[in-house]
Amino acid sequence: MHAPDPASSTARPATALAPAAPGRRLARHRAAPACAAEGLRKHTPVEQLRIRHRGEVVRKLRDHGPQSRVELGARLQRSSTTLSKVIGDLLDIGWVRESGPQHQAEPGRPRTALELVPDACKVLCLLLEPDTVHTAVTGLDARPGPVRSQAGAFRSQDPRDSVEQLAGLVLEAQRLERAAGRRPLRAVSIATPGLTDTRLRTLLRSRQLGWHQIALADALESSTSLPVLVTNNTRAMAFAEFRHLGLDEEQPMLFLQARFGLGAAMVNGASSNRHGHYGASELGYIPLAANAFASRVPTDSHLVSVTNEAYLCAVLDVPPASEPVLPLLERRRGEGDATARELYAQTLDNLALGLGIAIDILGPRVIVLGGIYSQASQAFADDLKARLRGRAQPELLDGLVVRRTALGRLGGLQGAALVALDRLLADARVYQS
């Protein structure tokens, strides 16, 4: 993963939360259930294999819906003996249930379908933005429930106050689940702008929030007694989009997300582990040579500064978030507005510059536009692809697909759930309690 920026290592020293100190508090984290990163007992090879097989069955039922044992065996390429033991385990703990005979075209004994019990294991997901936090509870199916949004001055206030607010949201979610008589939450997963460490514990740096070296997981675990994961919001969105589109390792995908900043993430596998989930989150800090609107809207010389929502709204002279900025830009351009025409062309050129570099290095076959760019028309996506000619190697542009996200804002919550569930499914303790 990326290392912290040395130049910003002393930023906000008075407000940065220090990593958890040794002693009683750290021991509590080590004893935390499920996906806590510390102190996991090493399993025997047989146990590890059994845990992996359980996770595979859960993922296949999640991704492909109810299936018979025969269909599961074919998809997983596991023997009937192995599959029987694993399914028996999942039936015993209530994660899977039999849903009755399946409709089948071929003659013979009807096959009983197996399906997930979504609320058997639930995760609270948070999507953190500079001015808002969105929360939703998800189950084994990784589908977010009702989304609750709460305003917060996360950029301007002390990070300790922000963590206290986030902890309050987690505690309230726990209370609501108990009051409704539902099963307790098993983990918390936070998708946040900025760089996170490889073990999903610490927010290394977030320019959007103004945070640096925040031990977010440790701080929240001490307040909520739940294991906490912290992941980059763009990576979470990319992971969810990759799975939603049904892509595979032959179709690596680059996800571009912009609103408060500009992030990019590369995904080349349906697993969130480090071998199938790569990032290019510093794409926004590519230096630019010129800005046509520098006299009107002064910015620094980085790509992120001229591709986010605030900049586009400033050039168009509208308040941020007053209306979707990309449809407004396209509409004004179509009406013959000279400023909109120039801004449209500059935006395409700047995005093509960054994407061209990413294409040459990473070689994606699909590019998905998220954030404010998901609100643009398909014509915008087509124009962007045309601008890539001359910016990337021609061979890498052949067959390249550029499209808008299908998940919208929920993608970050769904991605946070997927990352957390992948961690939970790899830990034997989650199946025992």
Query: Are 266 and 396 members of one domain?
Result: yes
In a domain, 2, yes or no: no
Q: Can you give the pLDDT at residue 214?
A: 93
Q: Mind giving me the DSSP string for 27-42?
A: HHHHT--TT-SS-PPP
116, 135, 155 - which closes a domain: 116
In a domain, 241, yes or no: no
Query: Are 372 and 250 members of one domain?
Result: yes
Q: Can you give the pLDDT at residue 432?
A: 72
Give CA–CA dist 366/411, Å, rounded: 17
Query: Are 133 and 62 members of one domain?
Result: no
Q: Can you give the pLDDT at residue 15?
A: 35
89, 116, 143 - which closes a domain: 116
Are the C-beta atoms of 205 and 4 separated by less than 8 Å?
yes
CA distances from 336 to 16, 260, 309, 318, 340 (A): 49, 28, 22, 18, 8
In a domain, 161, yes or no: yes
In a domain, 326, yes or no: yes
In a domain, 35, yes or no: no
Query: Are 139 and 226 members of one domain?
Result: yes
Query: Are 125 and 111 members of one domain?
Result: no
In a domain, 23, yes or no: no
Range of the domain at 70: 45-116
CATH number, domain with residue 75:
1.10.10.10
Query: Are 168 and 261 members of one domain?
Result: no
Give CA–CA dist 229/200, Å, rounded: 5
Domain count, the chain: 3
Give CA–CA dist 90/77, Å, rounded: 18
SS3 137: strand
Which among 164, 177, 78, 71 is positioned nearest to 119, based on CA atoms? 177
Residues in the chain: 433
Which among 162, 129, 132 is positioned nearest to 260, based on CA atoms? 129
Query: Are 179 and 100 members of one domain?
Result: no
Q: Mind giving me the DSSP string for 349-413?
A: HHHHHHHHHHHHHH--SEEEE-GGGGGS-HHHHHHHHHHTBTTB-HHHHTT-EEEE-SSTTHHHH
Query: Are 394 and 304 members of one domain?
Result: yes
Q: Can you give the pLDDT at residue 1?
A: 33
CATH number, domain with residue 157:
3.30.420.40
Which among 431, 429, 420 is positioned nearest to 41, based on CA atoms? 429
In a domain, 31, yes or no: no
Q: Can you give the pLDDT at residue 61?
A: 93
Query: Are 387 and 250 members of one domain?
Result: yes
Judging by beta carbons within 10 Å of its beta carbon (0-12, 13-18, 19+), is residue 81 exposed, middle or buried? exposed
Query: Are 251 and 394 members of one domain?
Result: yes
Give CA–CA dist 144/415, Å, rounded: 10
How would you write the pLDDT of the chain (433 residues) with one tens digit per residue?
333 333 333 333 333 344 433 332 323 333 344 444 434 456 788 888 888 899 999 999 998 899 999 999 999 988 888 899 999 999 999 999 998 665 555 555 567 899 999 999 999 999 999 999 999 999 999 999 999 999 999 999 999 999 999 999 999 999 999 999 999 999 999 999 988 886 778 998 898 899 999 999 999 999 999 999 999 999 999 999 998 898 888 999 999 999 998 989 998 876 655 444 455 666 888 998 889 999 899 888 899 999 999 999 999 999 988 899 999 999 999 999 999 999 999 999 999 999 999 999 999 999 999 999 999 999 999 999 999 999 999 999 999 999 999 998 778 999 999 989 988 888 878 877 6
In a domain, 138, yes or no: yes
Phi/psi at 290 (5° precision): -150, 155
Query: Are 139 and 97 members of one domain?
Result: no
Query: Are 132 and 210 members of one domain?
Result: yes
Give CA–CA dist 9/335, Å, rounded: 48
